[in-house]
Structure 1
Amino acid sequence: MSESEHRRLSQNEVYDLLSNPRRRFVISYLREHGRPIELTALAREVAAWENDVPAEELTDQQEKRVYVSLYQTHIPKLRNAGIVEYDSDDGEIRLMGTVGQLERYLPEEEEREPPWQSIYIGTAILGGIFYLLVVFDTPVFGAIGDAAAGIAVVTAFLAVTVAQYVYTRYVAPGREATLVDRGRR
């Protein structure tokens, strides 16, 4: 084990490592996939992300520019900090256990926003079916008055709206941002 694997990274070192989007992408990619990757394949992934195009549409120049940057700057910096191991013989990069030192600075598994559109559509469909069952005096539902059914449907929409408001106002702002925005640079 190298000296860098035993030493503790300072907060400034961690912030310096995470200050560059390419290094954040490398760490995020390796964490997400959990297996080593060849430097050329990693450069292709980074270039595709940066240019917001599928890897097949990259130009040789786009790939080469990222490859050189990773090879000369970013991988050595991550290797010196003990975050990755780079085997120059087979060209593979793998995440080291030392990445655990970054855990408190990295977001947990990405939380997904509730599918509000689907919730509203579901509420509308169920509310509509419920109201029709009441209006057509079907067994069990026929005993409920039209006004009461309308109030129940409106109350269901109000409950979903309040839930969305509370989530957006109080829950979502407290979530940590993702390490890398895969949708745009």
Structure 2
Amino acid sequence: MATTSESKPSTAGTTGQNDQSREGEIFDLLSNQRRRYTIHYCKQEDNPVTLGDLAEHVAAWELDKEVEAITSAERKRVYTSLQQTHLPTLERADIIKFDDRTIELTDEAAELDVYLDIVPGNSVSWGIYYLGLTAVGAVVIGGLWLEVVPTETVPELGWTTLVFSLFAVSAAIHVVQNRRMRLGEMERPP
């Protein structure tokens, strides 16, 4: 009796490759300023927007002008670029729904927030900040172990509470700043 075995393609590693592929696609989408501005404006409005309004705002942000100061030629250049290139790209990635005149964010757009951790130019990144804070904590704890940190005026529990409080306050400020710096949260896109 002959037996046949069907071989199924291996799915080992497929999920990881799909995640990397999607991540690469997202970085590619966000690499373009007009697409970031589009997402920002749509998040800011929180309702479907018209292509005309979007083009006006994107042109104003790009040219650092007020919306009222945009000329028809400037608006048309951005309008055409959005309509022919950027909106179809965002739609293929399932970030927006686009029906020739109206643009609306999809639920998939929410996943972009994790890729948009914005650090202002005059700021230290939070990773470096926390590394520094950890170094301060390590010095305090090391000093307590080696008995070089004074415990007569401030008890050991006081030093521990101080280090913990620094981390807690820093984390709270970090969360507030990240929420305030998301696309769609500010008047002008970062």
With normalisation by structure 1, the TM-score equals: 0.54
Shift of 1:98: 1.1
| Contact in 2 for aligned 1:39/1:92 (Cα 8 Å) | yes
Amino acid at match of 1:32: Q
Aligned pair partner of 1:27 in 26, 32, 39: 39
Amino acid at match of 1:80: R
- The equivalent residue for 1:84 is 96
Q: Sequence identity, in percent?
A: 37
| Contact in 2 for aligned 1:36/1:93 (Cα 8 Å) | yes
Aligned pair partner of 1:101 in 111, 133, 141: 111
Deviations 1:11-38 (A, max 9, x none): 1001001001110011111112100111
| Contact in 2 for aligned 1:86/1:94 (Cα 8 Å) | yes
- 3-state SS of 1:40 partner: helix
| Contact in 2 for aligned 1:49/1:182 (Cα 8 Å) | no
Counterpart CA distance in 2 for 1:103 and 1:178 is: 7
* Root mean square deviation, CA, Å: 3.4
Matched, 1:10 2:22: yes
Cα gap change, 1:18 to 1:56, in 2 (>3 Å): same
- 3-state SS of 1:10 partner: helix
Counterpart CA distance in 1 for 2:28 and 2:52 is: 24
| Contact in 2 for aligned 1:38/1:93 (Cα 8 Å) | yes
| Contact in 2 for aligned 1:86/1:93 (Cα 8 Å) | yes
- 3-state SS of 2:98 partner: strand
Where do residues 125-164 of structure 1 align in structure 2 (5 Å cutoff)? Answer: none
Counterpart CA distance in 2 for 1:30 and 1:184 is: 11
Runs ≥4 residues deviating over 2 A: 170-185
- 3-state SS of 2:54 partner: helix
Shift of 1:60: 1.1
| Contact in 2 for aligned 1:52/1:184 (Cα 8 Å) | no
Counterpart CA distance in 2 for 1:184 and 1:85 is: 21
Cα gap change, 1:97 to 1:13, in 2 (>3 Å): same
Counterpart CA distance in 1 for 2:32 and 2:187 is: 15
Amino acid at match of 1:99: A
Counterpart CA distance in 1 for 2:46 and 2:65 is: 23
Shift of 1:184: 8.2
Counterpart CA distance in 2 for 1:56 and 1:32 is: 19
| Contact in 2 for aligned 1:36/1:94 (Cα 8 Å) | yes
Shift of 1:10: 1.1
- 3-state SS of 1:53 partner: coil
| Contact in 2 for aligned 1:18/1:24 (Cα 8 Å) | yes
| Contact in 2 for aligned 1:48/1:55 (Cα 8 Å) | yes
Q: How many residue pairs are counted as aligned between the two chains?
A: 119
- The equivalent residue for 1:153 is none
Gaps of 5+ in 2: 1-17, 119-165
Amino acid at match of 1:103: D
Gaps of 5+ in 1: 1-6, 109-165
